[in-house]
Amino acid sequence: MEFYRYVLMKNPLTLVGCCIVFLMAAVAILAPVLATHDPVAINMTEKLKAPGAGHFFGTDEMGRDIFSRIIYGSRYSLGVGISIVLVAALVGTALGSTVGYIGGRTDQIAMGIMDVILSFPSLVLAMALAAALGPSLFNAMLAVSLVKIPVYVRLVRGQVLSLKEKQYVKAARSFGSSTGWVICKHILPNCTSPVLIQVTLGIGEAILIAASLSFIGLGAQPPAPEWGAMINTARTYILDQWWYATFPGLSIFITVMGFNLLGDGVRDILDPRSKNKPGAIKMTALLSVKNLTVDLPTGRKTARVLHGVSFDIKPGEVLGLVGESGSGKSVTALSILQLLPGGKGGISGGSICFKEQNLIDKTPQEMRKIRGKDISMIFQEPMTSLNPAFTIGKQIMDVILAHNNISKREAKEHALDMLGRVQIPDPARTFASYPHQLSGGMRQRVMIAGALSCGPGLLIADEPTTALDVTIQAQVLRLIKEATMQAGASVLLITHDLGVVAQICARVAVMYAGEIVEIGDVNETLLSPRHPYTRALLETVPELTPGYRKKLASIPGSVPDVFARISGCRFNDRCSVKKDICLAQKPQLVCVNGNHKVACWT
């Protein structure tokens, strides 16, 4: 929850939006209690009275209490806005996922129709549809829903076009799964975040458009206490009775603003990439590795394995660390937890700051308190990471009891709860099982449950899907992402799979021969790579597009030996665009665009 609290505290407008939406919802629910008068009761002896003790917001031309009408009007506006967005989101998601998955002529025709609809201004098209259907609140809601459906169709279709090429989707199809099952089980769960963001932002717009239709007489009809309709009837009196149009107008403004502010906050939480865009919230790094240098003994010699590695991980962020085998990814992870041979003795330079405390200065006893509680790690082979002599429950309970002052009964309950959270079907049976009695996917789920059992702030996942088939890989990755989001934890994901990085990471750091050669937002780094090594890695990814015949590329040579003395760029002997300076002088990691950094002379 650390990241969510950070978003709310550091972005007070999001907190304001939450408060406004909560207040409006409470007003709508408690309208019969809060209203001081019947909202439709006519009393001509009280007509057009100014705000006072008897009528807080004054009265209208029929003597009806404006305060009570606004209170009941919140039910109309919230109900209308939420209903419109839900209908548009459900229909748009169904259409977008279907045409995006099927593709071909169906996709072209459907998107052609959506493009035509989107070419018209939303309000103008909604007015035309509402006029054609006839003036009523239901017809206005239907018109606005129809206008908003294409927004969700395009949003979901774009997600589906990317997701349907993933290996786990292709594997599900190869198993004979139906189109509907593949879409519902494997594709739509990965589309929820952008849809939820659009829903939250869309409610305010829907309320505004529906109120506009009521204002011109195409929505709610008198005597319904709907805010737009109230402003419509107030036009005649706007010069002399200022309160008549002012309070309904303020209600619309405050409600729409509340949903928009809340939508911005939801986007910050659910869209990891938005956290790193220019102008986004700048967060203090949860983990900051600076100029980390590691020398490890190999026989009588000492090999320099890491050469000044530097990167930051912010609260709630997923950072991918990629590179070939031998690049130093796992050594970096082990250095953070001081699990190298000899503990921290191999760290010869730099700093590792976690929550602004340098872990290199910690004693072995202090590090034992941090491991498992504040920083946890998932290793790539769960069978060798789990002790075959003890049950699953025993091993998870040991972690919980080591870091929490609770009884064994409470530890068991917590362990069972964690096994349930990682979607293990029968937690009690798994709790009593031994590692060899579980499948690879189940063992990895157990590792995730154990790693998250004490609520760590940072989860290090070292090749967590290497030994799993593609369908289980997708489930494990989604599980890591969902579990860490719920806990508000950050993730350092070590992998060689760029597809995995593109799927769940906000930023990516490319590592080669013990150095970070490029780091930045995942979209910019993978779509516009600056370092030749990053481009070479991307070119080695197989292209699965039908009819694609280009020969699969490979990177010539191999990662240099740890004993090699290289004065210039460590990639120069494998680089196709090297210059003379690359052989003589080592490039530094410099900023090229925003937070996109690269170490290259070319």
Do 501 and 364 belong to one domain?
Answer: yes
Residue 248 lies in a domain: yes
Question: Among 543, 539, 568, which residue's Cα sits nearest to residue 554?
Answer: 539
Cα–Cα distance for residue pair 124/285, rounded to 1 Å: 47
Q: Are residues 216 and 306 in the same domain?
A: no
Does the pLDDT value for residue 1 go beyond 70? no
Band the pLDDT of 558: cuts 50, 70, 90: confident
Average pLDDT over residues 239-247: 91
27 domain residue, yes or no: no
- Which of 490, 516, 542 lies at the terminal end of a domain, its last residue? 516
pTM of the model: 0.57
Assigned domain for 4 exists: no
Judged against a pLDDT cut of 50, whether residue 273 lies above it is answered with: no
Domain that holds residue 307: 287-516
Lowest-confidence segment of 325-329, 402-406, 496-500 by average pLDDT:
496-500
Is the pLDDT at 407 greater than 90? The verdict is yes
Classify burial at 303, counting beta carbons within 10 Å of its beta carbon; exposed 0-12, middle 13-18, buried 19 or more.
middle
Separation between Cα atoms, residue 339 and residue 376, nearest integer Å: 12
Please check whether residues 462 and 427 belong to one and the same domain.
Answer: yes
Alpha-carbon span 185 to 162, nearest angstrom: 16
Name the phi and psi angles at 139, rounded to 5: -65, -35
Q: Does residue 6 lie within any of the structural domains?
A: no
Q: Which of 491, 516, 541 corresponds to the end of one domain?
A: 516
Q: In this structure, are 265 and 294 located in the same domain?
A: no
Element (H, E) at 598: strand 596-598
Cβ-based neighbours of 493, under 8 Å, separated by 6 or more: 318, 319, 320, 321, 461, 464, 480, 500, 501, 504, 505
For residues 259 and 322, membership in a common domain is answered with no
Q: What is the mean pLDDT of the chain?
A: 86
> With bands split at pLDDT 50, 70 and 90, how would you rate the model's confidence at 359?
very high
Query: Structural domain tally of the chain?
Result: 2
Residue 60: inside a domain, yes or no? no
Mean pLDDT of all residues in 359-371: 90
187-207 pLDDT tens trace: 888 788 788 888 988 999 999
Res. 96: pLDDT tops 60: yes
Between 27 and 4, name the one with better pLDDT. Answer: 27
Sign (positive or negative) of CA dihedral 68, 70, 71, 76: positive
Residue 243 sits in a domain of what CATH number? 1.10.3720.10
- Pick from 121-130, 379-388, 509-518: least confident: 379-388
Provide mean pLDDT across the span 413-422: 88
User: Which one-letter amino acid corresponds to residue 199?
Assistant: V
Residue appearing with tokens 């030749």: 532
Locate 377 and state its tokens.
């790690």
69 and 58 Cβ atoms separated by less than 8 Å: no
576: its two tokens: 């196709």
User: Which is more confidently placed, 63 or 386?
Assistant: 63
Q: Are residues 248 and 152 in the same domain?
A: yes
Tell me what pLDDT residue 557 has.
Answer: 82
- The pLDDT of 116-140, averaged and rounded, is 91
Which pLDDT does position 303 carry in this prediction? 87
Counting residues of the chain whose pLDDT is more than 90, the rounded percentage is 44
Does residue 403 surpass a pLDDT of 60?
Answer: yes
Cα(518)–Cα(527) distance, integer angstroms: 13
**Beta-carbon neighbour count of residue 442 at 10 Å?**
20
Q: Please state, in angstroms and rounded to a whole number, the distance separating the CA atoms of residues 208 and 225.
A: 16
Same domain for 300 and 263: no
Same domain flag for 108 and 145? yes
DSSP string, 60-123: -TT--BHHHHHHHHHHHHHHHHHHHHHHHHHHHHHHHHHHHHH-HHHHHHHHHHHHHHHTS-HH
Rg over alpha carbons for the chain, rounded to the nearest Å, is 29
Compute the distance between CA of residue 336 and CA of residue 358 in angstroms, rounded to an integer: 10
3-state SS, residue 460: strand
pLDDT in tens, 161-177: 877 776 667 666 766 66
